[in-house]
Amino acid sequence: MQDFFVKIGDSVTFAKTVGETDIYLFAGITGDFSVNHVNEQYMASSKFGRRIAHGALVVGYMSTCSTMMIEKCQGATADTTPVSLGYDRVRFLAPVFIGDTVTLTYTIAEVDAHKGQSLADIAVVNQNGVKVAVARHILRWVKNTPER
């Protein structure tokens, strides 16, 4: 296989404590003010017992990892621009609560240099080692058009 920006097994890790501010800023940006995220009294009587973070916020943290991988491999060049083609098989396995610290591990699982893309497995665990989310990310290096 020819040299490519990333190789199978390349990995980055990102950790973040989910704060009250994260929830409210994300709710404001997206307009998702579901009681699951912003109503402590309602959620106190739910199965979860308290508010949970937006799943899409966790996907946002996944995006942070893809950016970290691009920086690690110096993937943004004069010839190519790395872009996300999306996330497959996103699953939320357990709730993420305000105050939880999530650690995301983004690991290159497949490389297709001919297509100019990689697939990465993403695992998210909380401070207790419980896997709370998983996904597969598609990253493609798009050739830049020459200046005219």
Residue-level pLDDT at 41: 97
Give 87-107 pLDDT, tens digit per residue: 999 999 999 999 999 999 999
Residue 42 lies in a domain: no
Tally the domains of the chain.
1
Domain that holds residue 86: 11-18+55-143
Residue 79 lies in a domain: yes
> CA 60, CA 78: separation in Å to the nearest integer?
26
Residue 34 lies in a domain: no
Residue 33 lies in a domain: no
Residue 5 lies in a domain: no
Residue-level pLDDT at 148: 59
> CA 11, CA 28: separation in Å to the nearest integer?
32
* Average pLDDT over every residue of 22-32: 97
* Average pLDDT over every residue of 66-95: 94
CATH number of the CATH domain containing 86 = 3.10.129.10
Q: What is the pTM of this model?
A: 0.92
Residue-level pLDDT at 69: 96
Residue 98 lies in a domain: yes
pLDDT tier at 1 (50, 70, 90 boundaries)?
Answer: very low
Residue 43 lies in a domain: no
Residue 87 lies in a domain: yes
* HEC profile of the chain: CCCCCCCCCCEEEEEEECCHHHHHHHHHHHCCCCHHHHCHHHHHCCCCCCCECCHHHHHHHHHHHHHHHHHHCCCCCCCEEEEEEEEEEEEECCCCECCCEEEEEEEEEEEECCCCEEEEEEEEECCCCCEEEEEEEEEEEEECCCCC
Residue-level pLDDT at 76: 86
> CA 99, CA 15: separation in Å to the nearest integer?
12
